Chain A
Amino acid sequence: MTAIAGHTTAPPRMAASSRQRIIPALLLMPCLAWISFFFLLPLALMCWRSFAAKGYSFAAYTVLFTSPLYTKVMLTTVKTASIATVIALILAYPVAYVLTISGGFRRALILTFVFIPYWVDIIVRTFSWLILLGDNGLINKLLMATGIVHTPLELLYNSFSVLIAMVQILLPLTIIILFGAMLRIDRTLIAAAKIHGAGSWQAFRTVFFPLSLPGVYGAGLLVFVLSLGFYVTPALLGSPRQTMIAQTIMVEASELLDWGQASAAGLVLLIITTLIAAIYNRYFSLDRLWGGSDA
């Protein structure tokens, strides 16, 4: 924030200083009012609803924390989200690294490929795996044609199909975050290690990789938060035995019409994701986006 003060404020004058307070307030007012009315107020009402719908009691929450169904669903959700996050990080790392060390045309080309799926609807990308992984799908056809298997493998409606689609959806964002973090690493340190006799693998392992770890943790937190809320992918490609929390909330709301229970489960999910996002914000401050901390 001090960096901003350095290059934006006019010389301190009394008249200017009160204007310095009013103008930004006027500029931010519509946006904040909008967010409060169309986002925060509905969330507050949902919170109230979770108590009111059950005769002003914690009944909905008692169900949440005691029923074996919700325990199982929460465990599945956390497990699936964790595995998807780890795989996405492992796959994104080499791509982000290559983006960092290559320049010009090659970097632009890879970035284009990374961004193409980002512009394609999640439903569409999920749907594509439904076609590829089916009994008559391309993967099974290839496996049978090459004689690796003789009967089609059951690739759909299990955690494999959910994970393969989830990771594909999460990858572009993971790559972009990691790439951003790697760009901030001072590359002269690697050159210095090489001058002092390190091989390129050793320079990577002892200098670049440790320096990139904070970026990996940051990307991991953000991607994990997003994977907790996945709905389309597990609903289309998963088995009913591995339901994730967003699907359960959807069923409570749209099929059972139990808005109190749906609201309570939604609120618990909201608290969990907000806490993780707050941890992210604490260590990888979000306002860096508008040059808050490193302009």
Chain B
Amino acid sequence: MNANADRLILGTAVAAIILYLIFPVIVVLAISFSSGNFLNFPPPGFSLRWYRAIAGDPEWVSAFIVTLKLGGLTALFATLLGVPAAFALVRYIIPAKALLSALILCALVTPPIVTAISTYLFFVPLGLDNSIVGLACAHAVSGMPFVVINTAASLRGTDRNLERAAIIHGAHPLWAVVRVTLPIIAPGIVIGAVLAFVHSAHELLIATFVLGGVGKPVTVKIWSDMQATSDPTIAAASAILIGLAILTLATVVSAQALARRRST
């Protein structure tokens, strides 16, 4: 069999699959800049009118503020809980470690609708429904695995002798962790926190139940508007979410670059 023909077929197949992966993203971005009134692709012309529509609509603005607060709190909770857990899992011998790992990760494979109804039924008697903090508490459960996985990965890649050297030179062990190890693994923690933020910003079902009435986050607003209207405002809101994602992705990439510079 001809090796070159093989490579050509494989390359074409992979290119086609990648096109299939990114085409929906391109479509939404293109329509958000449409000058037309309808969701047509390709759009008839270029304009920023749908972005102006969002900036001028207090409901959309408040939805974005809710999403930012929610994602920020989720990332904060997930980081405060996940980083210590990663230290324990990587550095210590723990009985039933496999079970603990499964417990930390299981929120990721639990169907969102199940988490949504159980969280709502639990939150109503506690008065946590309609609360951004309450929803962030629930989102932190599924955001935490991202922090634990990324922190653990950085932690495994660091040289523990640096910390030992600090202790030998008289530093308190806890101080050695804070001053020596934490700065080294910081990029891993940041990546985890960013992923937890994005996870929260994308989550729809728990958010619909907990914050479905007033003070909707962006995903809930997009979802409920999608049923009612069909103008490119939704595409522009989606594009802003994509922009947020790209911004966070850039944060991740620069954090990684920083890590690489530190390690060389």
Contact = CB atoms under 8 A, between A and B. Distances in A.
Interface of A: 1, 4-5, 8-9, 20, 23-28, 30-32, 34-35, 38-39, 41-43, 45-46, 49, 91, 94-95, 97-98, 110, 113-117, 119-125, 127-132, 136-138, 168, 171-172, 199-201, 222, 225-226, 228-229, 231-232, 236, 246, 249-250, 253-254, 259, 262-263, 266-267, 269-270, 273-274, 277-278, 281, 285-287, 289-292, 295
Interface string B236-249: 00100110011011
B214 interface: no
Interface of B: 1, 3, 6, 10-11, 13-14, 17-18, 20-25, 27-28, 31, 39-42, 77, 80-82, 84-94, 97-98, 100-107, 109-115, 117-122, 137-138, 140-141, 144, 148-149, 152-153, 156, 160, 198, 201-202, 204-205, 208-209, 219, 222-223, 226, 234-235, 238, 241-242, 245-246, 248-249
Q: Is the interface of A mostly helix, strand, loop or mixed?
A: helix
B118 A45 contact: yes
A122 to B, nearest CB: 7
B196 to A, nearest CB: 13
A41 B121 CA distance: 11
Given A121-B219, A123-B204, A200-B3, A168 B21 contact: yes
B50 to A, nearest CB: 14
A237 B111 CA distance: 19
Contacts of A267: 114
Q: Which of B77, B209, B245 has the most CB of A within 10 A?
A: B245
A28 B91 CA distance: 12
B27 A132 contact: yes
Nearest to B149: A289
7 contacts: A94-B13, A116-B21, A119-B246, A121-B222, A127-B235, A270-B110, A290-B153
A98 B10 contact: yes
A201 B7 CA distance: 11
A46 B110 CA distance: 14
B10 A94 contact: yes
B3 A232 contact: no
Nearest to B239: A124
Nearest to A250: B113
A138 to B, nearest CB: 5
Given A28-B84, A94-B10, A249-B117, A291 B156 contact: yes
A236 B245 CA distance: 23
B121 A49 contact: yes
A295 B28 contact: no
Contacts of B82: 31
B107 A35 contact: yes
